[in-house]
C-alpha cells in the first residue's frame, strides 16, 4: 500500500510513514496468513481509505468470526462484504464517509477496540468504545506516543477524528505471551532456574503471572523500568510445586492468549484447576478449549471441557500424539508439557508457530528442552 519499510537490520526496522491519507491501493488481495489481529485491525484502518481492498487468510483465519468488527464498523459508515457466515475474505469498499459512534463491546476484545479506534482516526466526530473488562491497551499507548489525543472517560476510550500522527522511535519489549511458555516450562521442570529479559509488563497483559503465582509459581520481577511508554522488567522463574486453583474471573481477559500453556501448568499441579468465563477461547485460531482438552486427555490427563472453560485434575502426563489444529499456541503449550511427560510427545501441524514465535524450537532447545523439527 505504498509504505517503504527498511530492515530488519540487527533488530531495527525503519517505517517511512506516508500519513493517514497516503496509503494507496494494493495490486491485489492482502493475504494475512493466520493473523486475526492483522485482519481485525486492518479492517478498521482500511475502512477510512479511498480505495477498495480485500483481506484474505489461511483456512483457520477464514473460519474465525469477523462480524464483531464488521458490524460496528458498518455502524460507523463502512461498507464491508464478507461470506454468508460473516467470515473472511473481507472486501472493504473505499470512499465511505465514516462518523464516530459510541459502542459498548458485548465481549472484551482488544482487537475490536483497536479496530474501531483506528477507524475513528478517519471519522467525523468522536468515537468512544467501552469494554466489559480491561483488555490490552497497546493501541491507545501507541496513538498517544505518536501525538494523537486519546481520552479515558468513565470507562470509555475516546478519540476525535482529524488529528495527525507523528513518527517516533519505538522500543518493542519481549512479548509476555511468548514468555509465558518459558514461565510455565521453568515452573514445572525440576531444577529449572531461568531469567527472561526485557519482558513487556503492561498491566493489561500480566494475568498469566498473577495466575501462576496463585498456583505457587516462584516468579520474581526484577529491574522494573519504563521504555517508550510501556513498563518492562526481567522475570526470574524457578521450579516450584504448583497447586490447582479456581481462576478468578477478573484475570481471564488479562491472560486470554496464555491459557493454552496455563492449562499445561494446571495438568502438572496438585489438585483441581477450574476456569470459567473464557468462552472467547473457542473462537481463537482454534477452539482452544476443546483442542486443549482433547490433547490433555490424549496424554492421560483428566481434563473436561465446559462451555466457557475447563476443569483439570493434575496428575501424570503420558507421551502421545497431539493435533495442534494449526494453532501456534496449542503447539508451543504441548511442547512444554514434554518437560513432565513420561514418554515422547509428537505435535502435528506446527507450521503456524512462526505466526507469533519464529525461532521457538531453537530457543527452547537452547534452554534445555529436548525438541526438534521432524
Q: How far is CA 140 from CA 144, 200, 222, 272, 338, in A?
A: 6, 16, 26, 38, 38
E strand residue ranges, the chain: 4-9, 12-16, 30-31, 53-56, 79-81, 90-93, 102-104, 126-130, 151-153, 156-160, 193-200, 218-227, 230-238, 272-275, 302-306, 309-313, 320-323, 345-348
Grid coordinates of 5: 519499510
**Which 3 state secondary structure label does DSSP give 38?**
helix
DSSP 8-state symbol, 339: T
CB atoms within 10 A of CB 172: 12
Q: How far is CA 239 from CA 33, 268, 314, in A?
A: 36, 12, 16
Write out the H or E segment, with its range, that includes residue 297. helix 288-298
Residues classed as catalytic: 257
Grid coordinates of 350: 506446527
Distance CA 335, CA 181 (A): 9
**Which 3 state secondary structure label does DSSP give 193?**
strand
Q: Is the peptide bond before 118 cis (omega within 30 degrees of 0)?
A: no
Residues in CB range of 171: below 8 A, 6 or more apart:
227, 228, 230
CB atoms within 10 A of CB 171: 11
Say if strands 151-153 and 156-160 run parallel, antiparallel, or are unpaired: antiparallel
The residues facing 129 across adjacent strands are 103, 157
Amino acid at each position: 500500500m505504498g509504505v517503504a519499510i527498511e530492515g530488519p537490520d540487527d533488530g531495527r526496522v525503519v517505517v517511512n510513514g506516508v500519513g493517514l491519507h497516503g496509503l494507496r491501493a494494493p495490486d491485489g488481495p492482502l493475504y494475512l496468513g493466520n493473523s486475526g489481529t492483522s485482519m481485525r485491525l486492518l479492517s478498521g484502518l482500511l475502512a477510512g481509505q479511498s480505495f477498495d481492498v480485500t483481506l484474505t487468510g489461511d483456512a483457520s483465519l477464514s473460519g474465525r468470526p469477523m462480524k464483531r468488527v464488521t458490524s460496528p464498523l458498518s455502524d460507523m459508515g463502512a461498507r464491508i462484504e464478507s461470506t454468508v457466515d460473516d467470515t473472511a475474505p473481507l472486501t472493504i469498499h473505499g470512499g465511505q464517509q465514516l462518523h464516530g459512534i459510541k459502542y459498548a463491546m458485548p465481549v472484551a476484545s482488544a482487537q475490536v477496540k483497536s479496530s474501531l479506534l483506528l477507524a475513528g482516526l478517519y471519522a467525523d466526530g468522536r468515537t468512544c468504545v467501552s469494554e466489559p473488562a480491561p483488555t490490552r491497551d497497546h493501541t491507545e499507548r501507541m496513538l498517544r506516543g505518536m501525538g494523537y489525543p486519546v481520552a479515558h472517560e468513565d470507562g470509555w476510550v475516546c478519540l476525535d477524528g482529524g488529528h495527525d500522527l507523528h513518527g517516533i522511535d519505538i522500543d518493542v519489549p519481549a512479548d509476555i505471551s511468548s514468555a509465558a511458555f518459558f514461565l510455565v516450562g521453568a515452573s514445572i521442570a525440576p531444577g529449572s532456574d531461568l531469567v527472561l529479559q526485557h519482558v513487556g509488563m503492561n498491566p493489561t497483559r500480566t494475568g498469566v503471572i498473577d495466575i501462576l503465582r496463585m498456583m505457587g509459581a516462584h516468579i520474581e520481577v526484577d529491574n522494573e523500568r519504563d521504555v517508550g511508554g510501556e513498563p518492562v522488567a526481567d522475570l526470574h522463574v524457578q521450579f516450584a510445586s504448583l497447586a490447582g486453583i479456581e481462576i478468578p474471573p477478573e484475570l481471564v481477559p488479562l491472560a486470554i492468549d496464555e491459557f493454552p500453556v496455563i492449562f499445561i501448568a494446571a495438568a502438572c499441579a496438585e489438585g483441581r484447576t477450574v476456569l470459567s468465563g473464557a468462552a472467547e477461547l473457542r473462537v481463537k485460531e482454534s477452539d482452544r478449549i476443546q483442542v486443549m482438552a482433547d490433547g490433555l486427555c490424549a496424554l492421560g490427563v483428566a481434563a473436561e471441557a465446559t462451555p466457557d472453560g475447563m476443569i483439570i485434575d493434575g496428575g501424570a502426563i503420558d507421551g502421545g500424539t497431539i493435533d495442534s489444529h494449526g494453532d501456534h499456541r496449542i503447539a508451543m503449550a504441548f511442547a512444554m508439557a514434554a518437560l513432565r511427560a513420561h514418554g515422547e510427545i509428537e505435535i502435528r501441524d506446527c507450521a503456524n508457530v512462526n505466526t507469533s514465535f519464529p525461532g521457538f524450537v531453537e530457543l527452547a532447545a537452547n534452554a534445555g528442552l529436548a525438541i526438534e523439527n521432524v
